[in-house]
Amino acid sequence: MWNALLAFLFIYIHSMMKTVVITGSSKGFGLAMGKEFLNQGYHVAFSGSNAQNLNRAISSITFDGEKVASVLCDVRNCGDLQNLWDMIFKKWGRIDLWINNAGVAQKTEKLWHSSTVDVKNIFDTNLLGAFCGTQVAVNGMLKQGFGKVYNTVGFGSTGMTRTGLNLYGTSKHAVAHFTKAFANELKGAGIIVGTLQPGMMVTDFVNAADGSIYNKSEVQNIYNILGDLPDAPAKYLVKKMIHNNTNGKLLTWLSSSKVIFRFMKHLFVKRDLFKSDAHQK
């Protein structure tokens, strides 16, 4: 009798623990968010399209294995995203947060030099992947009756343009638009949809497709002023996501006041975020 009661209590408590799913979480900002959610007591599902990177990420986690799951997922395939939802929902019985974070950078070239292959890869990953992920999560959350979906945006989401980043920026501008549309269409449904703007982070995402840092001196200068390693924005934005109950909200790490402060601080204190391989982890 007591064994059965203890088993029931274990299952009940286990099922009440909140769960987050993060695409593109085998490294960088996604991995940092996943670790912070674990610190906050969540079950965390890590996912990525590269098995080696995903295994390396999981091996870097020291939390109880019962709180961690990993699922291979290529966000360019909407079926993979549905499978990701189904597997995690079956495992833990609920998904409280879903974060579409997977993305790829572009080669630093003018728009008319972009190949069809590059255009398709960026739009399929950054745009289609985020849209399908949002769609899968929203449909699942409507059935369970609650949940939050966040899409990571970046350069271009506000309409800013810059040569060498405009293909990427186009994809992120579209993500910001459809995220706002999802939020508007879901008013009163009990589901929260919002965007994350983590700012400039020093990860291997600042590398061009060929693996070399593009515009090296320019990139390093501005990133050393305004950039961060992923941990700081991850800790800040994870807490914001957990506590936010406003549909359609943009959660921002690098605010205007921080930008002004950092430019002033740079006059007196110099940083070097590129001095180690930390940006690749």
pLDDT at 279: 46
Cβ density class 57-93: b for 16+ within 10 Å, e for less: bbeebeeeeebbbbbebbbbebebbbebbebbbeebe
pLDDT at 212: 44
* Higher-scoring residue by pLDDT: 206, 23: 23
Domain boundaries, the chain: 18-217+229-256
Rounded (to 5) percent helix, strand, coil in the chain: 55, 15, 35
User: pLDDT tens for residues 24-60?
Assistant: 999 999 999 999 999 999 999 999 999 999 999 999 9
Enclosing H/E stretch for 251: strand 250-252
End-to-end CA distance of the chain: 49
| Mean of per-residue pLDDT scores for the chain | 88
- Considering the four listed CATH numbers 3.40.630.10, 2.60.40.10, 3.40.640.10, 3.40.50.720, the one that applies to the domain covering 18-217+229-256 is 3.40.50.720
Burial of 200 (0-12, 13-18, 19+ CB in 10 A): buried
Give the mean model confidence (pLDDT) for residues 112-128: 95
Q: Which of 7-21, 230-244, 258-272 has the lowest mean pLDDT?
A: 7-21
Give the mean model confidence (pLDDT) for residues 129-153: 98
pLDDT at 164: 85
Give the mean model confidence (pLDDT) for residues 239-248: 98
* Higher-scoring residue by pLDDT: 2, 96: 96
Q: How many CA atoms lie within 13 A of 180 on its CB side?
A: 10
Alpha-carbon distance of 180 to 158, in angstroms, equals: 13
User: pLDDT tens for residues 205-225?
Assistant: 665 444 444 556 667 787 788
User: pLDDT tens for residues 147-176?
Assistant: 999 999 998 888 889 888 899 999 999 999
